[in-house]
């Protein structure tokens, strides 16, 4: 009999649990996101693991990316008002009209795109659900889904859950832009989806127009759908974010995903969205209906209010983060590590090799005890070859108060004496 009693170890019966003898879907999901240890131990996501460790040790948590200051008062008040006014039952499955209209206005205001709020936009439970709904709707066994590597953890998990094959093309140091020759070689006639993430988590790169144009050309050549995760669209420093959907030949094959979490420093609200051609949105919506049906009603009204904030809000956000980036970069450099200055997101990557580090994952598990700071190892976002390439890289989040970043930098400066 198959029992799920001991979740700490995977079991051959479970591994072979389906009648067809194929791997159980949950096990594929775990493997796809590198949650299975060599000894069969089942882990939680790296974000959960490192945050738990940071809480237990009292370390400054520069691991999981969440701000330590909440988003605009206006939005938090709007959520409270919506609750008081009775917005407490199911929202329409595709999202409240005011939010779909605000998303459409946002796309027009910033990018000149004009998605129809009725048929070309849906609201989701964070970008995470949008990604899952789109991938599960559009890919399956026999398909290939192409991502860059390193890749955000949920990509590997959901591609595996869908039964598709996950193919990668590398982002190489020091710029972490797409390697266009490797990208071309990674495409095949089985490529159903190219899943782009720009600005890129974990590497902090903002893709050039040239790279994005090439992605669109290759997607057209292979008749692949483009799913583009642009949750960091407003977090760029001195470079413009170019949505894939604005490039020639892209709009008819591109689903664009974003979320309120990063733009408004409200990661716990879990309101995301996607926009694109009606038939692709309808496909994803069909699946979304049975993942969550609908998403947090009172938060939707508040996010609609946030999206209408004027340009200065967005400029201040990027300027403030850029200052924080520079404070933490300086501290990491002073600690003797090679720093890759990000053009976007709120993550800085460092190479700890100059300190003699050869295993970033082992170091990330010791770092909170060693110096009282937590970070995320980059190899966990890779398949084995990419993990080898990134074996001494660590990712630090800088979406924290300046005094917290300064304290973290002074603690990290002591690392070389403690290794």
Note the residues at the interface with ligand GLN (CB under 6 A): 45, 47, 64-65, 201
Question: How near is the Cβ of 86 to ligand PMP at its closest, in Å?
Answer: 26
229 binds, among ligand PMP, ligand GLN, none (CB under 5 to 8 A by kind): ligand PMP
Q: How far is CA 129 from CA 26, 200, 218, in A?
A: 17, 18, 27
The tokens describing 194, both together, are 């190219």
For ligand PMP, the closer of residues 10 and 154 by Cβ is 154
For ligand PMP, the closer of residues 87 and 235 by Cβ is 235
The tokens describing 75, both together, are 């939005």
For ligand PMP, the closer of residues 203 and 339 by Cβ is 203
For ligand PMP, the closer of residues 115 and 272 by Cβ is 272
First CA to last CA across the chain, in angstroms? 48
Dist CA 210 CA 204 (whole Å): 18
Residue 177: DSSP 8-state? E
The tokens describing 338, both together, are 């090679």
**Interstrand relation of 144-149 and 338-340 (parallel, antiparallel or unpaired):** unpaired
Question: How near is the Cβ of 262 to ligand PMP at its closest, in Å?
Answer: 6
147 binds, among ligand GLN, ligand PMP, none (CB under 5 to 8 A by kind): none
CB of 88 within 8 A of CB of 298?
Answer: yes
127 binds, among ligand GLN, ligand PMP, none (CB under 5 to 8 A by kind): ligand PMP
47 binds, among ligand PMP, ligand GLN, none (CB under 5 to 8 A by kind): ligand GLN
Dist CA 36 CA 27 (whole Å): 8
Residue 41: DSSP 8-state? B
Q: Interface with ligand PMP by CB under 6 A: which residues?
A: 126-128, 152, 197, 201, 229, 231, 259, 261-262, 267, 270, 272
Question: How near is the Cβ of 201 to ligand GLN at its closest, in Å?
Answer: 5
104 binds, among ligand PMP, ligand GLN, none (CB under 5 to 8 A by kind): none
| Residue whose C-alpha is closest to residue 393's, from 169, 180, 170 | 170
CB of 192 within 8 A of CB of 139?
Answer: yes
For ligand GLN, the closer of residues 224 and 328 by Cβ is 328
Question: How near is the Cβ of 197 to ligand PMP at its closest, in Å?
Answer: 5
For ligand GLN, the closer of residues 17 and 65 by Cβ is 65
**Which residue's CB atom is positioned nearest to ligand PMP?**
126
126 binds, among ligand PMP, ligand GLN, none (CB under 5 to 8 A by kind): ligand PMP
The tokens describing 325, both together, are 């980036």
CB of 5 within 8 A of CB of 16?
Answer: no
Dist CA 224 CA 233 (whole Å): 23
For ligand GLN, the closer of residues 115 and 150 by Cβ is 150
Question: How near is the Cβ of 273 to ligand PMP at its closest, in Å?
Answer: 9
Burial class (CB in 10 A: 0-12, 13-18, 19+), 214: middle
Residue 145's SS3 state is strand
Question: How near is the Cβ of 21 to ligand PMP at its closest, in Å?
Answer: 33
Q: Is the dihedral of CA 268, 205, 28, 219 positive or negative?
A: positive
For ligand PMP, the closer of residues 270 and 325 by Cβ is 270
64 binds, among ligand PMP, ligand GLN, none (CB under 5 to 8 A by kind): ligand GLN
Question: How near is the Cβ of 362 to ligand GLN at its closest, in Å?
Answer: 20
CB of 131 within 8 A of CB of 110?
Answer: no
């Amino acid at each position: 009999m198959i029992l799920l009693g001991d979740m700490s170890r995977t079991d051959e019966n479970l591994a072979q649990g389906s009648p067809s003898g194929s791997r159980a879907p949950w096990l594929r999901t775990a493997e796809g996101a590198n949650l299975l240890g060599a000894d069969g131990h089942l882990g939680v996501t790296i974000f959960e693991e490192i945050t738990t460790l940071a809480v237990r040790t009292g370390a400054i948590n520069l691991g999981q990316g969440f701000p330590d200051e909440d988003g605009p008062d206006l939005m938090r008040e709007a959520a409270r008002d919506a609750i008081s006014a009775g917005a407490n039952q199911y929202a329409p499955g595709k999202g409240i009209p005011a939010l779909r209209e605000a998303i459409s206005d946002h796309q027009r205001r910033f990018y000149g795109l004009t998605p129809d709020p009725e048929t070309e936009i849906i609201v989701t439970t964070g970008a995470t659900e949008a990604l899952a709904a789109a991938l599960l709707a559009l890919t399956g066994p026999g398909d290939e889904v192409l991502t860059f590597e390193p890749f955000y953890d949920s990509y590997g998990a959901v591609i595996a859950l869908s039964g598709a094959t996950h193919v990668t093309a590398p982002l190489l140091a020091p710029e972490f832009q797409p390697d266009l020759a490797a990208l071309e070689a990674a495409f095949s006639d089985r490529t159903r989806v190219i899943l782009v993430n720009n600005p890129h988590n974990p590497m902090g790169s903002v893709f050039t127009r040239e790279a994005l144009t090439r992605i669109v050309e290759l997607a057209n050549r292979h008749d692949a759908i483009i799913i583009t995760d642009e949750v960091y669209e407003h977090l760029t420093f001195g470079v413009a974010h170019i949505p894939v959907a604005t490039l020639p030949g892209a709009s008819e094959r591109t689903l664009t995903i974003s979320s309120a979490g990063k733009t408004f420093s409200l990661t716990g609200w879990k309101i995301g969205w996607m926009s694109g051609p009606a038939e692709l949105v309808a496909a994803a919506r069909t699946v979304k209906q049975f993942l969550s049906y609908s998403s947090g009603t009172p938060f939707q009204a508040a996010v609609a209010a946030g999206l209408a904030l004027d340009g200065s809000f967005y400029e201040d956000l990027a300027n403030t983060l850029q200052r924080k980036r520079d404070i933490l970069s300086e501290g990491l450099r002073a600690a003797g590590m090679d720093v890759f200055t990000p053009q976007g997101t709120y993550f800085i990557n460092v190479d700890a090799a100059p300190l003699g580090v050869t295993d970033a994952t082992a170091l990330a598990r010791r770092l909170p005890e060693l110096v009282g700071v937590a970070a995320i190892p980059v190899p966990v976002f890779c398949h084995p070859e990419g993990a080898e390439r990134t074996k001494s890289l660590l990712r630090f989040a800088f979406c924290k108060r300046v005094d917290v970043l300064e304290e973290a930098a002074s603690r990290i400066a002591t690392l070389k004496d403690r290794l």
